[in-house]
Amino acid sequence: MAIPQSFIQELLARADVVEIVGRHVQLKKTGANFSGLCPFHSEKSPSFTVSPTKQFFHCFGCGKHGNAIGFLMEHAGMGFIDAVKDLAGQYGMEVPQDERSPEDRERAAQQREKQATLSDVLEKAGQAYRKHLKGSQRAIEYLKGRGLSGEIAKQFGLGYAPAGWRSLASVFPEYDDPLLAESGLVIVNEEDGKRYDRFRDRVMFPIRNVKGECIGFGGRVLGDEKPKYLNSPETPVFSKGRELYGLYEARNAVRDAGFVLVTEGYMDVVALAQLGFPNAVATLGTACTPEHVHKLFRFTDSVVFSFDGDAAGRRAARKALDGALPYATDVRTVKFLFLPPEHDPDSFIREFGREEFQRYVRQAVPLSVFLLEAAAEDCDLSTAEGRSRMLTVAHPLWSLLPDGALKRQLFADIAERSQMGTHELGQLWRVPGHSGSRASRGFRPQRAYGAGVRQAVKPKTIAYAETVARLVLRNSSAWELLGHDDHEVLCGLQPPLGDLFSWIDATTHEHGGQPWAALQAGLGGQAFETRATELMAYDGSQPLSRVVEDLDTTDRDLRLSMLEIHLDVVGAAIEQASQVPQSDPSRVDRLLELSRRQQALLQQKHALRS
């Protein structure tokens, strides 16, 4: 989705950064500006300022700064598109969606309206559950027995669903309203159509999105009944594969602590907050997914997964490893914490204390070590058969890693454990650069700026290359969305674009994804600095302190632009092959190969646009 720059400028002109920040930070007038305690790090003296004239915020303590859009991205962990939509909604503005048909826009508007309505219904139910908790001595005693204070219960909005089959009928007089079933609060019997409450006689845990909106519930029985835990079903506002319990409540604590602790249940999250670890979140009855990990890395560069030390905990950790590998760049840290089998985080801290738990966290298993352990599990490495099996398991895991220093080091470690040389392992795994073919993204020498074959392309293709450059400069993680062939074509363009892409390639491999501000600082003195600055001049409203993380949208734009570039390159190759004498036996084969390539690209282009 491409948002016109004119709309962003109009939105920022209408929005008041003091008003937006003031909803989350207590601000005090200090001269021409406003000041307050920074919401992004812990401090006792205000170092956070907001300028009404410049419409800009800045913290002199942690360095975070930006405009109203940037504040929403930092504070709520939103992507750029979501932050623009949220801010526009606050001022009654509709984000232009030029690429959609009127029917698509109407459907999207209806979907947004339904989501807002469902959230209102869920919030109303949450208020009723909180009221019922105050009147249930049994539920209060249960929470006290778990060591939870009233303050923590209030912070997480805990409640109680009474034992009656239709308790919500007193909250929603129209108990047959379809929204109650669609929100997951009410179950409709398929045989006789009778309705009854999904949650009965359970302590209730409201599930909130990063904006603080109630999108679902988790309920726990007070005794030993089954199922012990019950979550809301999948709805238009709730997907357990994307949401994390407690992330809204923990977002500031995660920034302060420098890492997020991922646990296996919402009771773990609440108990840990009570015991002094407010930076914990939990998955919702499902294995950790790549979407979960991606969301967590919006708030921190360090993730620690906590699991029980039993077989079930190891299996859960193994699934979390799969979800984390695609995002394990060289500037991020992923660790795995295994507690003794008889303990969860709550019981461990109560028996051994906070210091011992902190020691366990510090000594958690790094991702690199756990990957090697997972690959070698049940493999006898003293035998050739065992080492071969280990390589079979390790290959798909290693392949999930983004290119960089960590991936290269693990390749060497795996080769050493298998008692094979890196060259032999590269040949076995068909890693380019180890089998006589051209070097891959992970194993090619760094390109020298200005080196390589320079391809002359049409002005239209240069425009597409400039689009790619803008997207990558806004979000340098997007470079990793491109393939090896894409990199070769872009880095092979004539200067200054080809040199700029070569520099981006080298920088991304060395430092991982970086925001424009960091890239701009590194551009100083480069011959293509002026060109890069010109390309980004239109985008002055982008937040300076973070990468724009709407990779789904970026991926589509990148692919469309790259298809156009590849079509131009293939077209030029066809023209060149046509000049070969007809007596040359390779001419027909070459033209046939290029024609097939061209047709495949056109089909991809058509599929992407449809």
Q: What is the pLDDT of residues 228-286, one digit of tens each?
A: 999 999 998 999 988 999 999 998 899 889 899 999 889 999 999 999 999 999 998 88
**Confidence check: pLDDT of 176 > 50:** yes
Mean pLDDT of 426-443: 61
Question: What pLDDT, on a 0 to 100 scale, did the predictor assign at position 540?
Answer: 47
pLDDT band at 455 (very low <50, low <70, confident <90, very high): low
DSSP string, 351-364: HH-HHHHHHHHHTP
* Residue spans of alpha helices (H) in 276-352: 290-296, 311-324, 345-352
Question: What pLDDT, on a 0 to 100 scale, did the predictor assign at position 151?
Answer: 95
Q: How many CA atoms lie within 13 A of 608 on its CB side?
A: 18
Mean pLDDT of 496-501: 87
Range with the largest mean pLDDT of 214-218, 433-437, 515-519:
214-218
Question: What pLDDT, on a 0 to 100 scale, did the predictor assign at position 450?
Answer: 44
Least confident window among 184-198, 351-365, 374-388, 548-562 = 548-562
Mean pLDDT of 539-562: 56
Q: Which CATH number fits domain 5-91: 3.40.50.1820, 3.90.580.10, 3.40.605.10, 3.40.50.2300?
A: 3.90.580.10
Counts for the chain of helices (H) and strands (E), in that order: 25, 16
Q: Which of 19, 3, 165 is nearest to 542 (CA)?
A: 3
pLDDT band at 5 (very low <50, low <70, confident <90, very high): confident
Q: What is the pLDDT of residues 313-346, one digit of tens each?
A: 888 999 999 999 998 988 889 999 999 888 889 8
Q: What is the 3-class SS of 216-255, one letter each residue?
A: EEEEEECCCCCCCEEECCCCCCCCCCCCCECHHHHHHHHH
DSSP class of 35: E
Q: Cα separation of 400 and 407, whole Å?
A: 9
Question: What pLDDT, on a 0 to 100 scale, did the predictor assign at position 105?
Answer: 65
103-231 belongs to which CATH class? alpha beta
Mean pLDDT of 454-469: 75
Q: What is the pLDDT of residues 144-158, one digit of tens each?
A: 999 999 999 999 999
373-429 belongs to which CATH class? mainly alpha
Per the prediction, the chain carries an average pLDDT of 85
Mean pLDDT of 296-318: 87
pLDDT band at 436 (very low <50, low <70, confident <90, very high): very low
Q: What is the pLDDT of residues 96-109, one digit of tens each?
A: 765 556 666 667 66
Q: What is the pLDDT of residues 10-62, one digit of tens each?
A: 788 778 888 899 888 999 888 878 999 998 888 888 999 998 877 889 988 88
Span 247-363: which CATH code?
3.40.1360.10
Q: Cα separation of 349 and 550, whole Å?
A: 38
Q: How many CA atoms lie within 13 A of 260 on its CB side?
A: 28
Mean pLDDT of 574-594: 80
- Asked whether 154 and 270 are in contact (CB, 8 A), the reply is no
The domains of the chain are located at: 5-91, 103-231, 247-363, 373-429, 459-609
Question: What pLDDT, on a 0 to 100 scale, did the predictor assign at position 101?
Answer: 65
The pTM of this model reads 0.61
459-609 belongs to which CATH class? mainly alpha
